[in-house]
Structure formats: C-alpha cells, structure tokens
C-alpha cells in the first residue's frame, strides 16, 4: 500500500487544482531537474507505516495509516484554517494543542528521522568494530547486546539494528508526536505572510528546524525553532518566548529578503525534493546567490538599512550599536580586516544567543 509521509492534506496547499486532482512542480536536488507530478505520487513509500503482521501485539497492520487519515490529517486541516486566517490572533487551549500536534506530525512522521537514527547506528557500530579489530577483541557490545564475530559480521549487526529501528519507528513514532506536543506545550506561534512577488515553497522534509544556541538538532530542547511553510503565502514559526502571551498568534508581514531566507532553510533541509511552483523555486534560485555571497559589501549595505530604518528599543539596542560600530569602521577605510569580520560575527552571535536565552 502506498502511504504518504508528507500528507496530501498538506501538499495540496502548494498545488494547482485540476478538477479533483492536485499537481505540483518538483525540483530534484540530486539531478538538478524539474518534473511535474500529481501529489498522489510524491513523498510516499510502499507500506511505510504498515505494521508487521506476525507480531502478537499487532491487531491491525494499518492502524497507523488509519490514525493519520482519520485523526491527524483532519486535525491539520483545522489548524491550517486557523493559521491562515488573518483575523485570528487569540486561540483556545484546545486549538493550541491541535496546532502543535497537527504540525509536529510533519516532523516526526518524516523518514528523515528514521534515516538519521539508522545512520547513527551505522556509524557507532562501524567505530566499535574498528576498535575491536585494533584491540583483537572477539566481538562488540552495543546497546547492551553482545555480538561475537564468530556469529555476526559488521553488516549483519547493522542490518539487525536497521530492522529493529524501522520496526520501532513504525510502532512508536505516534507517541513521539505526543511527546513533542507535551514538551513544547507552551510554545508560541508566529505566522508570517508574504507581500509582493515573493512566495514560499516546501519539500519532502516540510518542517525545518533552526537553533541559535545548540548546534546539534534535537527536538526536545527549548531553543529549537520549528518552521513550516503552509502555502505559497504563509508560514508559521513555533518557538519559545516568555515575552509573548499564551494562546496568541503573532502575525507579521515578510519582505522579499526574509521570504528568501526562509526558503533558503527549506531548500537546505530538503532531503531530495523541493516542491511547489516552478516559478517560485526558480525565483528563489535568482536571489540565493546573494544569500550565499561571502563578499562583504552586500552585508554592509543590509546593515546600513537596518540601522537607518529600525527604531531602537531596549531589546535591539545592543545589536543596533554593534552594527553602527562596524559600519563606522567600514566607512573609514572602505573595508574590514579579516579579524574585524570575525570579531563582528562572534559578537553578533553572542548577542543573538543572549537575546534568545533571555526569552526562553
């Protein structure tokens, strides 16, 4: 059975309707080529959620598929309608819970989580086997299980844990959605709406993660910010901030540069497929050179606009002063030294981290 790990109820909001069918453009990051497709044929795998029918505890091999179809996906539709309604800024406890569960399902149910777990097992088993070979040990112990080399090869051990991890993912990941919803129970929502000719797209890994404090991705840390593009015009950021009231949706307008930056993150964290309108994806490619540009002048000009246009307040005063300091250094000699650039980046990161920690 073909089962979607990115549900059609989500994908259709980036698609063109043709009668009762929905079609998207897809950019393959590996081949660098576009192709059009029906959303029924993208982001799906054969029996991806089907449980093993030889397990005594398995009463319905399609239990997970049915839970998504009858529970989480209708919940996503309700959450989506709230998030894209410009008039809704206050929500109930139930609506907040549904938004969290409906969006976090897109993170937990994605095979990227399973693949990362398998890759971690592969790396650790490989390292243990290399150490055993050097020391002359006749086997390894991994996760409290013994594997003598007389009975197990390295590939057999990896296969064993790959199958075990896959089974665990199928059977237990629904609980992971609830755990994420509970851990981030008091997270806040910021919905951003695009203006002008800038638009969002999505990918085969739709919920992306940014963290200004912790370099390693882990879903159960409060410094995480989860970002989900909802359709070409709207995206939502889920984050912790003690300055914002509970059950509030903050609504902002995104200029073209901010839309491009968010699309840059979506593109970077896509596993293979970038999904949406071909025009919107190609427009992103046109501005991505600026985002990737390591030259100093575009960044200086962006800083100059921020200093000129943004009103100083207690929260941004430190960053405003830092920008002014380095603009003055740059204007004095029309450049910055390498050490000055690195010092600026270090101080900017420290300010950003302090700001984030103060609001968690």
pLDDT band for position 335 (cuts 50, 70, 90): confident
Give mean pLDDT, residues 295-305: 74
**What angle in degrees, to the nearest 10, is found between the helix axes of 154-183 and 111-135?**
140
Same domain assignment for residues 71 and 207: yes
Residue 168: the pLDDT is 87
Same domain assignment for residues 175 and 64: yes
Domain count of the fold of the chain = 2
Residue 56: the pLDDT is 47
Same domain assignment for residues 305 and 253: no
- Per-residue pLDDT reduced to its tens digit, 239-254: 999 889 999 999 998 7
Query: In this structure, is residue 139 part of a structural domain?
Result: no
Same domain assignment for residues 239 and 306: no
Query: If DSSP codes are grouped into helix, strand and coil, which group holds residue 38?
Result: strand
Who has greater pLDDT, 93 or 330? 93
Same domain assignment for residues 177 and 70: yes
Same domain assignment for residues 314 and 224: no
pLDDT band for position 204 (cuts 50, 70, 90): very high
Rg (CA), the chain: 23
- CA 278 from chain center: how many Å? 21
Neighbours of 185 (CB within 10 A): 12
Query: In this structure, is residue 152 part of a structural domain?
Result: no
Query: In this structure, is residue 147 part of a structural domain?
Result: no
Who has greater pLDDT, 317 or 134? 134
Same domain assignment for residues 255 and 190: yes
Residue 57: the pLDDT is 44
Same domain assignment for residues 185 and 255: yes
Same domain assignment for residues 216 and 317: no
Mean pLDDT across the chain: 87
Query: In this structure, is residue 83 part of a structural domain?
Result: yes
Q: Which domain holds residue 234?
A: 58-114+169-272
Does 171 have pLDDT greater than 70? yes
Where is the domain boundary, 239, 272, 305? 272
Residue 14 is given by DSSP the state G
Same domain assignment for residues 319 and 352: yes
Same domain assignment for residues 254 and 311: no
Query: In this structure, is residue 343 part of a structural domain?
Result: yes
Residues whose CB is less than 8 angstroms from the CB of residue 202 and which lie 6 or more positions away in sequence, other chains included: 10, 11, 14, 229, 266, 274, 275, 276
Does 97 have pLDDT greater than 90? yes
Query: In this structure, is residue 283 part of a structural domain?
Result: no
% of the chain beyond a pLDDT of 70? 88
Does 112 have pLDDT greater than 80? yes
Where is the domain boundary, 223, 255, 272? 272
């Amino acid at each position: 059975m073909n089962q979607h790990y990115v549900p059609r109820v989500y994908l259709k909001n980036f698609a063109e309707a043709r009668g009762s069918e929905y079609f998207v453009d897809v950019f393959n990051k590996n081949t660098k080529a576009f192709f059009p497709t029906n959303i029924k044929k993208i982001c799906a795998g054969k029996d991806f959620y089907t449980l093993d029918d030889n397990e005594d505890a398995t009463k319905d091999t399609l239990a997970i598929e049915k839970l998504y179809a009858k529970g989480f996906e209708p919940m996503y539709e309700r959450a989506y309608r709230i998030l894209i309604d410009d008039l809704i800024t206050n929500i109930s406890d139930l609506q907040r819970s549904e938004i969290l569960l409906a969006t976090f399902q897109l993170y937990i149910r994605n095979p990227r989580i399973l693949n990362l777990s398998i890759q971690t097992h592969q790396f650790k088993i490989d390292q243990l086997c290399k150490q055993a070979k050097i020391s002359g040990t006749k086997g390894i112990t991994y996760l409290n299980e013994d594997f003598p080399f007389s009975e197990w090869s390295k590939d057999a051990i990896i296969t064993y844990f790959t199958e075990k991890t896959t089974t665990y993912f199928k059977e237990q990941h629904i609980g992971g959605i609830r755990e994420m919803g509970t851990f981030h129970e008091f997270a806040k929502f910021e919905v951003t709406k695009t203006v002008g000719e800038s638009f969002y797209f999505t990918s085969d890994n739709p919920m992306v993660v940014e963290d200004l404090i912790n370099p390693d991705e882990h879903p159960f840390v409060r410094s995480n910010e989860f970002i989900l593009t909802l359709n070409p015009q709207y995206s939502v950021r889920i984050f912790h901030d003690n300055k914002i009231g509970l059950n509030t949706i903050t609504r902002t307008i995104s200029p073209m540069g901010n839309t491009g930056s968010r699309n840059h993150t979506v593109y970077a964290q896509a596993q293979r497929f970038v999904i949406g309108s071909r025009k919107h994806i190609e427009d992103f490619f046109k501005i991505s050179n600026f985002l990737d540009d390591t030259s100093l002048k575009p960044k200086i000009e962006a800083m100059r606009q921020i200093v000129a246009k943004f009103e100083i307040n207690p929260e941004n005063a430190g960053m405003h002063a830092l920008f002014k300091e380095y603009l003055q250094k740059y204007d004095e000699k029309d450049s910055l030294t390498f050490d000055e650039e690195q010092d600026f980046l270090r101080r900017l990161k420290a300010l950003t981290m302090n700001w984030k920690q103060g609001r968690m």
